[in-house]
Amino acid sequence: MFNRLPAASLAFAVYLSSASAALAQPTLELRDYVVMPMTGLVDGKGSNELLLSRVNTLREEVGGARRVFISDLNGPLYILDKESKKFLVYLNFNGNEGKAGIFRKLTIQQGYGNGLNGFYLDPDYTRNGKFYTTHIEDPAMPGSNLPDNSRVPTLNVSGYTTTAAIKTPGPLQNEGVLVEWTDSNPSNSTFEGTARELLRVQLNTRSHPLGDLIFNPAARRGDPDWRVLYLECGDGASGESTNVAIRPNPQRLDNLEGKILRIIPDLNEHVASSTVSENGRYRIPNDNPFVATPGARKEIWAYGFRNPHRLNWAVDPANPANNRLIANSVGLRTWETAYIVHKGANYGYALREGNELLKPDNTTGPLPAVDKIPLQVGDTPTGTLLTPIYPVIQYGHDPKGGDSIGSGFVYNGKMIPALRGKYVFTDLTTGRIWYADYKDMLAADDGKPGTTAALHEVRLLWNDPHDSPDAGKKVYDSMFPIVEAAYHARGGKSPKLPGRDDLVMKGRADVRFSIDANGELFLYSKGDGIIRAVVEAIGF
């Protein structure tokens, strides 16, 4: 297997022989890809300000070759030229007082998911110039909630109006906003065109907001899922609240918190098989599971989640019947989880955490003998009993595991055949990486809470550019020391990495995977603001 490695220096060869045991274990080789423009401060005060760049998504248009789109929660949506490695600001969402961007009430100071939280290109972007974003606003901030184009005159806002926020029971703090953008010339690297607010949702707190969004990459023109948008809304931290007025929000079908939603953003798409939403801005497919349930939000596709902040589609090129939507959801005190998302299914939170019972005091225990959850639409549960659906991946809050699952992908790229059919994912806090065989995940989706996919630890091989030239590549147990070294090399002054960590008190590695249009993997961290490419897999 070692002959797949690039030519090594003498020092590396010596190192390799002493580390050959480590390399016999699954190892991903990384190469630094690009350094994000710094939007944080090396001597920042709050935990968000300390992050050198809150890089949050990397997307590439279908058929794209020369550029990728990269978003930073602090406001910028960039286009990166893949050849020159130059960033151009495509749109800037941060229009806080004195800032040049679009949204006056964008909130970025506190809360991991606050700011420009979600971004996804329409599958037909290259032709129609459409893309979708989610961002978080604090209604208490000064200024209008209408977009300000005074510094972006090519954004035409003449017809723009906001929508009534979809109601959420209980005390409220922020609002999540979904916007459709239409660039009249998608071939250049500047934005010129229009925007439409599609949806606005009330959120109980600044935690677990409206966030990730995705189109089914396997859907083609004419398919029922073509240009149908899946998006997730976290529970606004309602489910862990001791306030009984909001604790059931992830279970209640009359609000959007703790849900995965499915809508048709374009009013002209699937007209015969859908109805126009309450606010008139998008369509709801007729086959959504709760369109006929009185009092239920028709946008809901699945529910009972805490913070399903990363969605991805697992695509099996050999058998499309195996294609699944996967949600990675951050746990409360005990379990990190990945779920296969099924239409209409109840994923249990806040009555379950992982494959255990979650009690009102937020500790977990064994499942009840009769494992049922009542259907609840409004204030009180109904008499209808449902069986909750359990995770296919689960790991515990432990320094060897983590306490905050990041994103994951089933690899379908060309560059690293050894990774095909494997689901690789991160923990945000510890920076640890694992893989599961996708077939094991499908097998664990069996209705049995006790069966989950086997997890395999993944190590990392990386050449620290700040080491002496002959130091060579080293093997790392996790991304944590890699990010830590790069954070300090970029001038970060915090002795520990920014972000909360209740496990080892060293901060957060804050590492996520993303994929380009070819399915090739990238790892990026908010801590050091660096994107790295996965270039090789050894020992898989």
| x-marked contacts with Ca ion along 282-311 as a string, rule CB under 5 A | ------------------------------
Q: Which is nearer to Ca ion, 275 or 322 (CB)?
A: 322
**Which one of 79, 264, 315, 444 is in contact with Ca ion (CB under 5 A)?**
444
Give Cα 303 to chain centroid, integer Å: 17
Burial of 30 per CB tally in 10 Å (0-12, 13-18, 19+): buried
Region of 208 on the Ramachandran plot (φ > 0 left; ψ -120 to 50 alpha; else beta): left
Nearer to Ca ion by Cβ, of 49 and 81: the residue is 81
Nearer to Ca ion, 33 or 69 (CB): 69
Burial label, 35 (beta-carbon count in 10 A; 0-12, 13-18, 19+): middle
Nearer of residues 70 and 444 to Ca ion, judged by Cβ: 444
CB 186, min distance to Ca ion, A: 6
Least separation in angstroms between residue 450's CB and Ca ion is: 7
Given candidates 110, 144, 188, 384, which one binds Ca ion under the rule CB under 5 A?
A: 188
Does 273 help bind Ca ion (rule: CB under 5 A)? no
Q: Which 126-185 positions form the footprint of Ca ion (CB under 5 A)?
A: 183, 185
Structure-token pair, residue 152:
């972006």
Nearer to Ca ion, 127 or 448 (CB): 448
Per-residue contact track with Ca ion, 362 to 391, x per CB under 5 A? ------------------------------
Give the nearer residue to Ca ion in terms of CB position, either 31 or 151: 151
**Residue closer to Ca ion (CB basis): 194 or 451:** 451
Question: Minimum Å distance from CB 392 to Ca ion?
Answer: 6
Alpha helices in 345-476 (DSSP H): 438-444
Number of residues that bind Ca ion (CB under 5 A): 7
CA distance 85 to 97: 31
Contact residues for 409 (Cβ-Cβ < 8 A; gap 6+):
312, 423, 424, 425, 513, 514, 515, 519, 521
**Coil vs helix vs strand at 114:** coil
d(CA 402, CA 98): 39
Segment contacting Ca ion (CB under 5 A): 117-125, 259-267, 445-453, 521-529? 445-453
CB of 183 to Ca ion, least distance (A): 4
- State which amino acid sits at residue 384: T
Interacting positions 235-264 with Ca ion (CB under 5 A):
none
Q: For residues 303 and 339, which CB has a smaller minimum distance to Ca ion in the complex? A: 339
Is the peptide bond prior to 350 cis by the omega test (within 30 degrees of 0)? yes
Identify which of residues 67 and 488 has a Cβ nearer to Ca ion in the complex: 67
Hey, what are 419's tokens?
């990774």
3-state secondary structure of 103: strand
Nearer residue to Ca ion within complex by CB, 183 or 254: 183
Spatial distance between the Cα atoms of 341 and 223, rounded to a whole number of angstroms? 19
Minimum CB separation of residue 33 from Ca ion in Å reads: 24
For every residue of 155-176, DSSP letters joined together read: EE-TT----PPBP-SS---EEE
The length of the chain in residues reads: 540
Quote the least distance from Cβ 69 to Ca ion, whole Å.
12
Residue pair 238/245 in contact by the 8 Å Cβ criterion: no
CB of 190 to Ca ion, least distance (A): 5
Supply the minimum distance, in Å, between the C-beta of residue 214 and Ca ion: 23
Q: Tell me how far the alpha carbon of residue 154 is from its chain's centroid.
A: 29
Structure tokens at 352: 């379950």
Nearer residue to Ca ion within complex by CB, 162 or 451 = 451
For 471, the 3-state DSSP assignment is: coil
Geometric angle at alpha carbon 129, from 128 and 131, rounded to 5°: 115
Rounded to a whole number of angstroms, the CA Rg of the chain reads 22
Q: Please, which residue, 339 or 425, has the CB nearer to Ca ion?
A: 339
Judge whether 312 and 409 are in contact, CB under 8 Å: yes
Q: How far is the CB of 336 from Ca ion (least distance, A)?
A: 16
Please report, as residue ranges, which positions from 447 to 466 form the binding site for Ca ion (by CB under 5 A). 448, 451
Q: Closest distance between Ca ion and the C-beta of residue 54, in Å?
A: 24
Q: How many CB atoms lie within 10 A of CB 266?
A: 20
State the nearest-atom distance from the C-beta of 526 to Ca ion, in Å: 27
Q: Which is nearer to Ca ion, 246 or 444 (CB)?
A: 444
Residue with the shortest CB distance to Ca ion: 451
Shortest separation between residue 91's beta carbon and Ca ion, angstroms = 10
Minimum separation from the CB atom of position 477 to Ca ion (A): 28
- Residues 413 and 515: beta-carbon distance below 8 Å: yes
Contact 52, 493 (CB under 8 A): no
CB within 8 Å of 188: residues ≥ 6 apart? none
Which chain residues interact with Ca ion by CB under 5 A? 183, 185, 188, 444, 446, 448, 451
